[in-house]
């Protein structure tokens, strides 16, 4: 099936207000197709983004939103059986697909696809690669889960041969339980790391490894895999690749060995392949992300001078240690971290940036893994790196199987026993009020969540301002 078969026809997106769904819907509209969509929650900025592109969006899910003559229905990952439109599509035997399969069919075929995978670092590494290619004149396509500040958007579709895409191991749709990244026709793959996550769809680390192995099994012989040479799980999944494999890491036997790392409060420097690089982010994990991006850039043929300049002027990504504001001498920082490893890395990096400051961590256990008690001990250890800690009550606890709910009280008790000031927060408002009474000028507050957390960042700044 080719895209020409549906030229100038009608696509309907169920769940259109997801970041990726909205970006792809807009791209299809730009190509001359009729595009409509629906979603339960329709609000800015996505509602404005779609309205500006004259895409009709229905609020709520109603079978009437999907016409009988629709060319193809795109069913979002968040949709499940029981949804009124989904049931209608199935009953009426209308043609449907998933978003990853649509991206494959209409945007990835014939492209040099750079797929960035791993439990952590996907967004940062993808953003650095896209920035380097863009700075170097390649004008790459991209589908990234965050917003690279240099590029201003996470989704972009161009005529470039290169497509940088964040490869998520999460499942594709309710009717396709394969990981999303198996659809992405990879030529170049980055495997940053492999850890247990997504406890709602994977039972253990072995299932996750199997999914990575299946994705690596479709990398062509003229492609390449860059794998974290310091991560045993990453090395294991790449062990039997048909394509060339290059290791990136600090170990002596790595093909791209990271050496002489120097971490400073506001930047880092390191040596890779005999070249010294300056990078305006701190933390060893960000050095590793940058090294992966450099290795990919070298393979794609970017000139050395351009790599150096673009790496040195990278501006970062929204929601990755992003300063949201400062009031009463207290900085409020936003970070997407929600896995113990990511939390450890984030707090460690903030320690380097603000070595003389007291660090307060506010954590929302919102992801399907963090809501469970599978990593409760690891979560306590990660949060203990902060000086003071607030943990919100678990959102939607009814969605967690019996006996698997994170015991927030136990984590708080463990932190208190370590000498930490630790509290349970019943709401964003109560957390903001309490932490305002405890902080002093020079303190740092980092909000750790993969969601909006009830607008807590603005509530914190408002509360601090009135202090």
Q: Which CATH class is domain 322-465?
A: alpha beta
Which percentage of the chain shows pLDDT scores above 70? 99
Alpha-carbon distance 227 to 234, whole Å?
A: 6
Which segment of 184-188, 371-375, 411-415, 433-437 scores lowest on mean pLDDT?
A: 371-375
Structure tokens at 69: 């003559």
114 backbone dihedrals φ, ψ, rounded to 5° = -105, 110
Cα–Cα distance, 178 to 197 (Å, whole number): 15
> How many other CB atoms are there within 10 angstroms of residue 58's CB atom?
18
Record the pTM.
0.81
What is the C-alpha separation between 211 and 319, in angstroms, rounded?
28
Q: How confident is the model at residue 219 (pLDDT cuts 50, 70, 90)?
A: very high
Q: Tokens representing 383? A: 């949060």
In this structure, what DSSP letter does residue 77 have?
A: T
pLDDT at 317 over 80: no
Q: In this predicted model, which residue has the larger pLDDT, 146 or 256?
A: 256
Q: Are 333 and 350 in contact (CB under 8 A)?
A: yes
Q: What is the DSSP letter of 250?
A: S
Give helix 340-353 / helix 376-383 axis angle, nearest 10°.
0
* pLDDT tens, residue by residue, 41-97: 887 778 888 999 999 999 999 999 999 999 999 999 999 999 999 999 999 999 999
- 441: tokens are 């000028």
Topology classification of domain 3-98: Rossmann fold (3.40.50)
Six-digit token pair at 115? 């797929």
Residue ranges of domains in the chain: 3-98, 110-312, 322-465
Please determine, looking at this structure, whether the domain spanning 110-312 carries the CATH number 3.40.1190.10: yes
In this predicted model, what pLDDT tens digit does every residue of 366-415 receive, in sequence order? 888 888 988 899 999 999 999 999 999 998 899 888 999 999 999 999 99
pLDDT at 7: 62
Dist. CA 45–CA 51, nearest whole Å: 10
């Amino acid at each position: 099936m080719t895209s020409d078969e549906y030229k100038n026809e009608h696509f309907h997106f169920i769940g259109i207000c997801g970041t990726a769904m909205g970006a792809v819907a807009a791209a299809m509209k730009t190509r001359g197709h009729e595009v409509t969509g629906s979603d339960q929650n329709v609000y800015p900025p996505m509602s404005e983004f779609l309205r500006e592109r004259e895409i009709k969006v229905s609020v709520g899910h109603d079978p009437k939103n999907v016409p009988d003559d629709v060319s193809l229905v795109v069913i979002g990952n968040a949709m499940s059986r029981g949804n009124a439109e989904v049931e209608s599509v199935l009953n009426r035997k209308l043609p449907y697909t998933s978003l990853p399969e649509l991206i494959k069919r209409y945007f990835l075929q014939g492209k040099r696809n750079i797929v960035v995978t791993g439990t952590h670092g996907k967004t940062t590494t993808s953003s650095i690669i896209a920035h380097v290619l863009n700075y170097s004149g390649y004008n790459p396509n991209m589908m990234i889960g965050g917003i690279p500040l240099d590029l201003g958007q996470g989704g972009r579709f161009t005529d470039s041969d290169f497509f940088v895409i964040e490869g998520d191991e999460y499942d594709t749709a309710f009717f396709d339980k394969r990981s999303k990244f198996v659809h992405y026709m990879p030529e170049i793959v980055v495997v940053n790391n492999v850890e247990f996550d997504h406890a709602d769809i994977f039972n253990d680390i072995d299932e996750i490894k199997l999914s990575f192995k299946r994705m690596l099994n479709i990398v062509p012989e003229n492609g390449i895999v860059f794998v974290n040479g310091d991560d045993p799980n990453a090395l294991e999944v790449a062990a039997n690749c048909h394509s060339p494999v290059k290791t990136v890491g600090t170990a002596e036997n790595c093909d791209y060995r990271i050496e002489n790392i120097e971490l400073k409060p506001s930047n880092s420097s390191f040596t890779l392949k005999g070249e010294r690089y300056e990078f305006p982010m701190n933390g060893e994990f960000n050095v590793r992300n940058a090294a992966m991006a450099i290795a990919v850039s070298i393979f794609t043929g970017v000139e050395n001078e351009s790599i150096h300049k673009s790496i040195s002027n990278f501006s970062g990504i929204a929601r990755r240690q992003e300063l949201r504001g400062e009031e009463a001498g207290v900085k409020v920082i936003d970070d997407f971290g929600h896995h113990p490893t990511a939390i450890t890395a984030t707090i460690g990096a903030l320690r380097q940036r603000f070595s003389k400051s007291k660090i307060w961590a506010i954590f929302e256990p919102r992801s399907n893994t963090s809501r469970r008690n599978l990593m409760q001990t690891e979560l306590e250890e990660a949060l203990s790196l902060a000086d003071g800690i607030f943990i919100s009550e678990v959102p939607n606890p009814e969605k967690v199987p019996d006996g698997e709910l994170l015991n927030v009280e136990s984590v708080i008790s463990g932190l208190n026993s370590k000498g930490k000031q630790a509290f349970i927060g019943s709401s964003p408002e109560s957390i903001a009020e309490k932490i305002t009474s405890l902080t002093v000028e020079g303190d740092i507050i980092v909000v750790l969540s993969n969601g909006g957390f009830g607008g807590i960042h603005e509530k914190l700044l408002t509360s601090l301002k009135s202090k």
